[in-house]
């Protein structure tokens, strides 16, 4: 059986591309070096795929920054402010990152992944102009290396749907302008010679997106009339689009059978159409080994409907969302490692699966399959994964706090006696070079725990002193012991593993290394109590404890695939709830449970939203359910737009929520008022993402604007996110001005 891979990660297994881009940006090296690195990486990645026996390999999956950005240059869809930049390279990176005189383009999340793309800015008076040079040269490179190449392109409807109109209106109105340039592109590609296959990615249709189905038909009736065109979707099913595509002249369809199981319902129609099916059965999103025997059975069932000649084994999406290879993971537990497959290992899974369909295949002789069978069996029963006590605790989870909000807030305000417009921060204070160096030397064993703790206590005391000096109402300890709000907790819970080289691209040259949740989650020891209670004992002011919530930990990790995500979320909730109780017993009775990434787990299809919201809200509530009525629970979310989810936010029932509204005045707060939101709210009053120090009068205005929307009894005053990325000499005057502004408003 033939095989194909949608796309491969590009940053490099030693993050070579990152390093060479960053050296170039900081003028320590030249663009020639970047190009050389890029060329080497492409050749290496194609080589891996060819060596693994993959039949059809992607070209133009590579990018120096982002594929949407590449597509903009290919189509000549350049925003006005960059159009006059003659040097293509300078133009490209200016669009991505801004330059001395021009602001960068906006960036946003690619569907429900943690990858971010650059958002095209289109307008009705654009004129497009094709530039095929980059695609052509990559294709020639691949051909010279003997690669059987298909060319990846973002399809026209997805390109438009993910763009924004700078002149107002719907981007889909530009369809008739953009289609001709796509036609020209396809025509140019057909001149490359051979029977080159074009793989158009149209993932927007996994959202249903029925309003654009007629455009989809028009697009591929014309783009596929003379060329071999595949249309690929991923991350969910796209059944509505499949129906339409099957009556166009496309050559094949790429569908996700891992995260889009409903695609199976389209099989009969696909069979009748006689088109090729690129069946995405190996996940491009997770890092777990595939259950090859189970997948073989799945494909056997497909073959009852579809001709073997028309079925190609593929990945569910580009492998972009997985790290490169396990080869450098010498620190992982041996069993855990045997359950993992990164991009390179997934190539072998694709090819092994294909071999399993050949007549002379011998299961017992195939080393990879034998190891796979053994690892799958071992993962199902391993004590490293399964912990009955955890499973039982989840079964008996309580979700509700004993006392309703009205009674709680009354008791809390009596206990804490904080004023209206109480001032606080979101948790972290600047992570200076000194802070990071201290953590690093402790981790490397250069200093022992006594020295480390003494240093941390010193930092905490300084931080308290500053907060007392400026007269903040509610203090924090500063989070100096934390490298990252998820990793810090993950490292202390069982069921988590941390890789050495599990980097995935987040945007541009930025990579993240998500924790791996492989087993039932529990918390052997208190994680934050030492720091928080030390801080609490060293001030007469209110000290707020600081935790990360289960949904955020889940959404920023690689999550096990052998149980529903909701189950893993509940397990984390139980573990964090133990921490809530321990903080409370230690006298820390104001506790913030951050859900910075709550919105990121939203499903792609509307019909699945209610279910996600149900368990995500329950996970948060279960985390704080054991808290006494007098213990005040805060949460923080890094969003400003709550219109769609306000009812869900309300259902979380946190006593206080702080949010990111600083950049939108009081506009976005209005939704809280219009739904009659009762709980207290801290709308960030200044933007911490910028080094700018807002002055007192500006903050007075901002506070007064907030008070036009919600009464002062319901408002807290705080910055809009944690301060860890800022410098002390920005933080000090900003917070001082903030407290000053509140005092002026209170005295009016
Ligand atoms: N408490 C965290 C901090 O202040 C919250 C971070 C976040 O919202 N991303 O850093
Ligand atoms: Zn935040």
Q: Which two three-digit tokens encode residue 744?
A: 């002026």
Residue 260: how many CB atoms within 10 A of its CB?
A: 22
C-alpha separations of 205 from 94, 283, 604 in Å: 31, 19, 10
Residue list, ligand 1 pocket, CB within 6 Å:
426-428, 479, 485, 546, 594, 596, 636, 638, 721-722, 724
Residue 198 backbone dihedrals phi, psi, to 5 degrees:
-105, 130
**pLDDT (0 to 100) of residue 663:** 76
C-alpha separations of 630 from 402, 406, 412, 652 in Å: 11, 12, 5, 17
Strands (E), 167-251: 197-201, 228-232
- Closest ligand 1 atom to residue 596 Cα is 8
Could you tell me whether strands 252-256 and 121-122 are parallel, antiparallel, or unpaired per DSSP bridges?
unpaired
State what percent of residues in the chain have pLDDT above 70: 100
Of 404, 458, 437, 428, which Cα lies nearest the Cα of 688?
428
3-state helix, strand, coil in the chain (%, to 5): 50, 15, 40
**pLDDT (0 to 100) of residue 193:** 82
Residue 561 · residue 286 · CB < 8 Å:
yes
Of 2, 17, 76, which Cα lies nearest the Cα of 277?
2
**Residue 271 pLDDT grade (very low, low, confident, very high; cuts 50, 70, 90):** very high
Q: Which two three-digit tokens encode residue 173?
A: 């109105």
Ligand number with the minimum distance to the CA of 428: 1
Residue 338 C-alpha from the chain's centroid? 25
- Closest ligand 1 atom to residue 721 Cα is 8
Residue 531: how many CB atoms within 10 A of its CB?
A: 22
Collect all residues with Cβ–Cβ distance below 8 Å to 275 and sequence separation of at least 6.
Answer: 246, 250, 251, 252, 253, 310
Mutation to probe ligand 1, out of 430, 485, 658 (largest number of atoms < 8 A from CB): 485
Over residues 505-526, the mean pLDDT reads 97
Q: Which entry of 45, 201, 321, 689 is annotated as an active-site residue?
A: 689
Token pair 């929520």 is at which residue?
Answer: 657
Q: How far is the CA of 638 from the centre of ligand 1 (A)?
A: 8
Segment (H or E) for 315: strand 311-315
Residue 312 · residue 277 · CB < 8 Å:
yes
- Closest ligand 1 atom to residue 546 Cα is 1
**pLDDT (0 to 100) of residue 641:** 84
Quote the mean pLDDT of the chain: 97
Ligand number with the minimum distance to the CA of 424: 1
Give the integer Cα–Cα distance in Å for 54 and 52.
6
Give the integer Cα–Cα distance in Å for 671 and 663.
16
Tens digit of each residue's pLDDT (9 = 90 or more) over 616-670: 999 999 999 999 999 999 999 988 789 999 999 999 999 999 999 877 788 889 9
Give the integer Cα–Cα distance in Å for 118 and 92.
11
Q: How far is the CA of 596 from the centre of ligand 2 (A)?
A: 6
Per CATH, domain 16-325 is 3.30.310.10: no
Mutation to probe ligand 1, out of 463, 475, 479 (largest number of atoms < 8 A from CB): 479
Give the integer Cα–Cα distance in Å for 593 and 636.
7
Of 672, 669, 734, 674, which Cα lies nearest the Cα of 706?
669
C-alpha separations of 544 from 59, 470, 580, 589 in Å: 52, 17, 12, 7
Q: How far is the CA of 8 from the centre of ligand 1 (A)?
A: 32
Give the integer Cα–Cα distance in Å for 294 and 40.
37
Collect all residues with Cβ–Cβ distance below 8 Å to 146 and sequence separation of at least 6.
Answer: 50
Nearest Cα residue to atom 8 of ligand 1: 596
Ligand number with the minimum distance to the CA of 688: 2
Give the integer Cα–Cα distance in Å for 212 and 374.
46
C-alpha separations of 441 from 447, 448, 499, 517 in Å: 6, 9, 20, 27
Tens digit of each residue's pLDDT (9 = 90 or more) over 516-560: 999 999 999 999 999 999 999 999 999 999 999 999 999 999 999
**Residue 693 pLDDT grade (very low, low, confident, very high; cuts 50, 70, 90):** very high
Residue 59 · residue 152 · CB < 8 Å:
yes
Over residues 420-439, the mean pLDDT reads 98
Of 321, 208, 313, 307, which Cα lies nearest the Cα of 262?
208
Rounded to the nearest 5 degrees, what angle is found at the Cα of 311, between the Cα atoms of 306 and 312?
165
Q: Which two three-digit tokens encode residue 199?
A: 């793989």
Residue 312: how many CB atoms within 10 A of its CB?
A: 21
Statement: the pTM of the whole predicted model exceeds 0.85: yes
Tens digit of each residue's pLDDT (9 = 90 or more) over 357-407: 999 999 999 999 999 999 999 999 999 999 999 999 999 999 999 999 999
Nearest Cα residue to atom 1 of ligand 1: 427
Bridge partners of 517, per DSSP, are: 496, 559
Strand order in the sheet with 197-201: 2-3, 311-315, 276-282, 252-256, 228-232, 197-201, 149-154, 57-59
Residue 236 · residue 605 · CB < 8 Å:
yes
Catalytic-residue membership of 45: no
Residue 739 has pLDDT above 80, yes or no: yes
Strand order in the sheet with 632-636: 474-475, 542-548, 590-594, 632-636, 656-659, 680-683
Q: How far is the CA of 478 from the centre of ligand 1 (A)?
A: 10
The class (CATH top level) of 388-432+468-747 is: alpha beta
Of 540, 542, 503, 545, which Cα lies nearest the Cα of 526?
545
Tens digit of each residue's pLDDT (9 = 90 or more) over 33-77: 999 999 999 999 999 999 999 999 999 999 999 999 999 999 999
- Closest ligand 1 atom to residue 724 Cα is 10
Nearest Cα residue to atom 5 of ligand 1: 722
Collect all residues with Cβ–Cβ distance below 8 Å to 721 and sequence separation of at least 6.
Answer: 426, 636, 638, 660, 684, 688, 689
Domain with CATH 3.20.20.210 in the chain: 16-325, 388-432+468-747
Of 74, 60, 63, which Cα lies nearest the Cα of 120?
74
Of 285, 402, 351, which Cα lies nearest the Cα of 48?
351
Of 217, 216, 271, 259, which Cα lies nearest the Cα of 235?
259
Residue 502 has pLDDT above 90, yes or no: yes
Residue 78 · residue 86 · CB < 8 Å:
no
Tens digit of each residue's pLDDT (9 = 90 or more) over 325-341: 999 999 999 999 999 99
Q: How far is the CA of 590 from the centre of ligand 2 (A)?
A: 18
Give the integer Cα–Cα distance in Å for 652 and 646.
10
Q: Which two three-digit tokens encode residue 181?
A: 């340039």
Nearest Cα residue to atom 4 of ligand 1: 722
Of 175, 177, 264, 261, which Cα lies nearest the Cα of 219?
175
Q: How far is the CA of 458 from the centre of ligand 2 (A)?
A: 25
Helix (H, G, I), strand (E, B) or coil at 422: strand
**pLDDT (0 to 100) of residue 640:** 78
What's the CA dihedral at 377, 382, 384, 390 to 10 degrees?
120
Tens digit of each residue's pLDDT (9 = 90 or more) over 701-730: 999 999 999 999 999 999 999 999 999 999
Give the integer Cα–Cα distance in Å for 420 and 487.
35
Nearest Cα residue to atom 10 of ligand 1: 722
């Amino acid at each position: 059986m033939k095989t194909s891979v949608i796309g491969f990660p590009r940053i490099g297994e030693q993050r070579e591309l990152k390093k060479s881009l960053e050296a170039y940006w900081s003028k320590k090296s030249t663009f020639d070096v970047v190009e050389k690195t890029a060329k080497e990486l492409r050749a290496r990645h194609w080589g891996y795929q060819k060596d693994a026996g993959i039949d059809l390999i992607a070209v133009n999956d590579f990018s120096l920054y982002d594929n949407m950005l590449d597509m903009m240059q290919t189509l000549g869809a350049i925003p006005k402010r960059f159009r006059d930049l003659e040097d293509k390279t300078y133009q490209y990176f200016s669009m991505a990152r801004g330059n001395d005189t021009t602001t960068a383009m906006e960036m946003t999340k690619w569907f429900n992944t943690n990858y971010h793309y650059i958002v095209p800015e289109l307008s009705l008076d654009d004129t497009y102009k094709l530039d095929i040079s980059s695609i052509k040269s990559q294709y020639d490179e691949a051909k010279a290396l003997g690669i059987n190449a298909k060319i990846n392109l973002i399809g026209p409807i997805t390109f438009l749907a993910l763009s924004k109109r700078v002149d107002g209106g719907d981007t889909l109105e530009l369809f008739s302008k953009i289609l001709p340039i796509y036609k020209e592109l396809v025509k140019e590609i057909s001149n490359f010679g051979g029977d080159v296959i074009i793989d158009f990615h149209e993932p927007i249709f996994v959202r249903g997106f029925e309003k654009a189905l007629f455009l989809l038909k028009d697009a591929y009736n014309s783009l596929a009339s003379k060329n071999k065109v595949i249309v690929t979707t991923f991350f969910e099913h796209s059944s509505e689009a499949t129906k339409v595509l099957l009556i166009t002249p496309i050559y094949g369809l790429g569908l996700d059978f891992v995260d889009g199981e409903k695609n199976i319902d389209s099989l009969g129609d696909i069979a009748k159409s006689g088109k090729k099916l690129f069946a995405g059965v190996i996940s491009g999103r997770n890092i777990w080994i595939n259950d090859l025997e189970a997948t073989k059975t799945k494909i056997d069932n497909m073959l009852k409907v579809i001709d073997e000649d028309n079925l190609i084994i593929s990945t569910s999406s580009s492998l972009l969302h997985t790290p490169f290879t396990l080869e450098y993971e010498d620190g992982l537990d041996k069993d855990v490692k045997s359950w993992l497959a990164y991009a390179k290992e997934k190539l072998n899974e694709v090819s092994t699966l294909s071999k399993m369909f050949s007549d002379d295949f011998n299961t017992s002789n195939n080393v990879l399959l034998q190891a796979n069978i053994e690892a799958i069996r071992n993962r199902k029963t391993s004590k490293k994964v399964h912990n009955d006590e955890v499973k039982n605790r989840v079964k008996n989870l309580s979700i509700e706090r004993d006392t309703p909000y009205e009674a709680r807030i009354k008791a809390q305000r009596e206990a804490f006696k904080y004023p209206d417009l109480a001032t606080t921060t979101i948790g972290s204070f600047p992570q200076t070079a000194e802070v990071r160096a201290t953590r690093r030397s402790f981790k490397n064993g250069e200093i022992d725990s006594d020295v480390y703790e003494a240093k941390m206590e010193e930092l905490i005391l300084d931080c308290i002193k500053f907060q007392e000096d400026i007269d903040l109402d509610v203090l924090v300890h500063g989070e100096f012991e934390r490298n990252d709000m998820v990793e810090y907790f993950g490292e202390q819970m069982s069921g988590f593993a941390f890789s050495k080289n599990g980097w995935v691209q987040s945007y541009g040259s930025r990579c993240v290394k998500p924790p791996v949740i492989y087993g039932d989650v529990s918390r052997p020891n208190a994680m934050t109590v030492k720091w928080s209670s030390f801080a609490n004992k060293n001030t007469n002011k209110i000290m707020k404890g600081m935790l990360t919530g289960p949904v955020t930990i889940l959404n920023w990790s690689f999550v096990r695939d052998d149980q529903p995500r909701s189950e893993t979320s509940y397990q984390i909730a139980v573990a964090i709830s133990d921490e809530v109780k321990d903080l409370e017993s230690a006298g820390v009775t104001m506790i913030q449970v951050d859900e910075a990434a709550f919105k990121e787990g939203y499903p792609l299809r509307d019909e699945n939203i209610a279910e996600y919201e149900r368990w995500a809200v329950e996970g948060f509530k279960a985390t704080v359910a054991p808290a006494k009525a007098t213990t005040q629970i805060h949460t923080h979310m890094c969003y400003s737009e709550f219109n769609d989810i306000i009812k869900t936010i309300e259902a979380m029932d946190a006593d206080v929520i702080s949010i990111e509204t600083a950049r939108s005045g009081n506009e976005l707060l209005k939704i809280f008022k219009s739904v009659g939101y009762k709980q207290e709210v801290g709308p960030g009053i200044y933007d911490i993402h910028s080094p700018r120090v807002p002055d007192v009068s500006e903050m007075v205005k901002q506070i007064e604007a907030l008070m036009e929307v919600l009464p002062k009894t319901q408002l807290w005053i705080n910055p809009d996110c944690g301060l860890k990325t800022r410098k002390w000499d920005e933080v000090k005057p900003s917070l001082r001005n903030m407290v000053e502004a509140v005092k002026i408003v209170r005295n009016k």
